[in-house]
Structure 1
């Protein structure tokens, strides 16, 4: 058999296995499966925000049943896993990525089957992490990060606010502005849509070919800019890049491990484009604090009160608290996905610094090739050289300019060696 025929057969096998994963995960819609209906909020309001909503495992099975048979779905992924080992071998790089995806989707199904039970949070922590996870031996935790940022932001409060922070634009205004901006960022062939929705918890959410904006709200210019960067440039961009892959079509779909990378990439892009702002950072760190509270035994009412103390009104406090307990119960542990934003940011920033230090800067754009995971980048680099994957089409300019990124990271490597506490003493006279 000629070498070209071997390569062609290999690519065909990878593509077929990839398509099986894409097809198998299609009915698994995690956030939809965790939703609480409008009656839960109505119950909470009628009881003056003091009586815990009546949520248990029976609630999920009756009010929000899964659209697939969990046992059959897990067996389907097990069958794909066996096919990967049989057709690609034990040490195939691309095979290892697809096998991990199969394992994660099985755990996702286990998590969804465990809705309303303690097992739900245990699996969530396995997939997304915990607020007490360390980044290395002796390192501060995510909860330590939240405490530091909260204390720092309290010292600047409204001192940096401008007209760009005033929520004067309607949801429809946001749709119109984003439609125009994203049509300039993406090519005319993509058919990107921005539309109103009243069925999402978040202010904005990206799908495969559209961005949904929560109807009935008011937004500031800064918020609309973060939607453009976070939901558009990153989430939509990586989806389109993944869908454009001719062989590794699995890159268009993201298991939980890629969620950490995706959300972290979106946050770091906000920061690199100077689109983030203190209110945005406070919202992200409040999520860490809220998850940590629930992990330590706080119930729905306790976390609701925490958000009220942060200045949110009752509606926003309810929605923010529901994000923490969705999939669980009002007295159970949290759904820990909201840790992904800050956890992913820290992991990606440190990866970029080390990639520059070790001369691997060309791996950074691979973060945008699809729904990637940090630990797979070395394999994706090999696949790029082999022609199994194609370069990402949509990369924010801050990441496509490797010279500029390298300069930033080189200085960052040195600054990290300075003792901030010692500098604070030396700068005391200047900072009075």
Structure 2
């Protein structure tokens, strides 16, 4: 049965109704705004830290009462579980409701160490093992940091000028996005209160006011924010069966961020410095969990070459919503590298199995890798629509297949078995 006309088959209406209940229940659950720090505090503390005046920031949070939302989500979990053995839609809804419930519990503990455990449940730990490997996310982070440090002295930045004001970049991005998605589909705004350098929703991309950007930043913002985060949200809004596919639930964060960083890789918008920055955050989460306080983590980022402002913002990401004295952390930044590695493996596996359809379906909304496979019957029936938009690098399937095919084959060559004289003799 096709859903192209916006209708839902009678046998699926129960799941569509549960999905609407889910969206209504989570309307008041706002993860990042709840744990955010005020920009005025950051500006004052950065100036102090840059001058060597170190003290733990004094941060207070408004703790929400999400008890009603939690109760409704628990009821949705129970109702969805009853259909989980019959239809993968039930399992999708159960998993999604569960992740939102855990997020609600986390936010109700904001400002305490109680944030740590649910954030780990949602985003993982630095020492989690990477699928298909015997090594952990922490091992990968150390590898990229060490590699970046070893190569740093020999690499010259191709685009070292960071001189494009946010207002100028806003106009440039808006013109590019109008051409790709259609005029007015996505608005680009400058937000002086934004902690991250950029953030994306379905119809809005925000840039941090006062920040300067490079041409490389522009490339990365398009690949990561616009052509993954905004694109999947817009595709999700077209879904007649599961409206929640337009919303980033906590359980899809790892896939969404991994896919966004993978998009940087595929479109040439990532470099070793970016990989180092992502990796340092994982090492910092591990430090905080081990007892390091905010100042110690700040000094770690600073010793690794980051500016005072970047070091403060990096440390702030680790300590969002938790006490600053050590032993607690907000684990979200754990997902960027683990997500990248897992998504990369998924793309290679899909190519090996000649399943390019799985890769296209990954952009149909806010999905996990598990969802893409489990919900295939509904993609095949038309109940879940294929994506309306695909990133530029996904539109050139032969180029993507070439990169992945090379990756699949070359992975079998063990560098520890290769000697320089063998290479010279073979060419």
Q: TM-score, normalised by structure 2?
A: 0.91
Whether the 8 Å contact between 2:126 and 2:334 is mirrored in structure 1 is: yes
1:366 aligned to which of 361, 380, 387? 361
Q: CA deviation at 1:110?
A: 0.8
Moved more, 400-409 or 379-388: 400-409
Which residue among 83, 93, 105 is the counterpart of 1:110?
A: 105
Q: Determine the structure 2 residue equivalent to 1:152.
A: 147
Name 1:24's counterpart in structure 2: 25
CA contact (8 A) 1:44 1:52 kept: no
Shift of 1:156: 2.6
Partner residue in 2 for 1:50: 54
CA shift, 1:115, in A, is 1.9
Specify the SS of the correspondent of 2:383: coil
- Please, which of 162, 166, 177 is the counterpart of residue 167 of structure 1? 162
Gap runs ≥5 in structure 2: 1-6
- The correspondence for 1:65, drawn from 58, 63, 66, is 63
Q: CA RMSD in A?
A: 2.3
Q: Partner of 2:159: helix, strand, or coil?
A: helix
- 1:285 partnered with 2:279: yes
Question: Cα offset for 1:10?
Answer: 2.2
Alignment partner of 1:336 is 2:331:
yes
Instruction: Report the Cα offset of residue 138 of structure 1.
Output: 6.1
Go from structure 1 to structure 2 and tell me whether the alpha carbon gap of 1:338 and 1:427 turns closer, same or farther (over 3 Å shift): farther
State the Cα deviation string for residues 101-147 of structure 1 (Å, max 9, x = none). 11111100111112233331111111101111112486111121121
- How far has the Cα of 1:280 moved from its partner? 1.8
Deviates more, 1:402-411 or 1:72-81: 402-411
Distance in structure 2 (CA, Å) of the matches to 1:340 and 1:186: 28
- Going from structure 1 to structure 2, the CA distance change for 1:185 and 1:79 (only over 3 Å counts) comes to same
Deviation at 1:29, TM superposition (A): 0.7
Query: For residue 224 of structure 1, what is the aligned residue in structure 2?
Result: 218
Q: Please state whether the residue corresponding to 2:151 is helix, strand or coil.
A: coil
1:299 maps to what in 2? 293
Deviates more, 1:331-340 or 1:45-54: 45-54
Kindly state the Cα deviation for residue 349 of structure 1 after the two structures are TM-superposed: 0.6
- Post-superposition shift, 1:177? 1.1
Q: Is the Cα–Cα contact under 8 Å of residues 171 and 214 in structure 1 kept in the other structure?
A: yes
C-alpha contact (below 8 Å) 1:261/1:344 kept by paired residues: yes
Answer with 420-429 or 24-33: which moved more.
420-429
What's the offset of the Cα at 1:295? 2.0
| 1:36 and 2:37 matched | yes
Larger displacement relative to structure 2 (142-151 or 169-178):
142-151
1:263 aligns with 2:257: yes
- Give TM-score scaled by structure 1 length: 0.90
The count of residues paired between Structure 1 and Structure 2 equals: 415
Query: Structure 1 residues 419, 13: CA separation in 2 closer, same or farther (over 3 Å shift)?
Result: same
Compared CA separation, residues 161 and 223, structure 1 to 2 (3 A): farther
CA distance in 1, matches of 2:392, 2:307: 38
Following superposition, the deviation at residue 159 of structure 1 comes to: 4.3
Going from structure 1 to structure 2, the CA distance change for 1:425 and 1:151 (only over 3 Å counts) comes to farther
Aligned twin of 1:242: 236
What is the CA–CA distance in structure 2 between the aligned matches of 1:207 and 1:267, rounded to whole Å? 16
Post-superposition Cα deviations, 1:333-366, rounded to whole Å, max 9, x if no partner, equal: 1111111111111001111111122232321111
Unaligned ranges ≥5, structure 1 = 1-5
Offset at 1:424? 5.4
In 1: Cα distance, 2:317 partner to 2:235 partner: 29
Q: Structure 1 residues 39, 210: closer, same or farther in 2, change over 3 A?
A: closer
Contact kept? 1:325, 1:334, Cα under 8 Å: yes
Matched, 1:82 2:83: no
Which residue in 2 is equivalent to 1:3?
none
Distance 1:158 1:231, change over 3 A: farther
Distance 1:138 1:389 in 2: 33
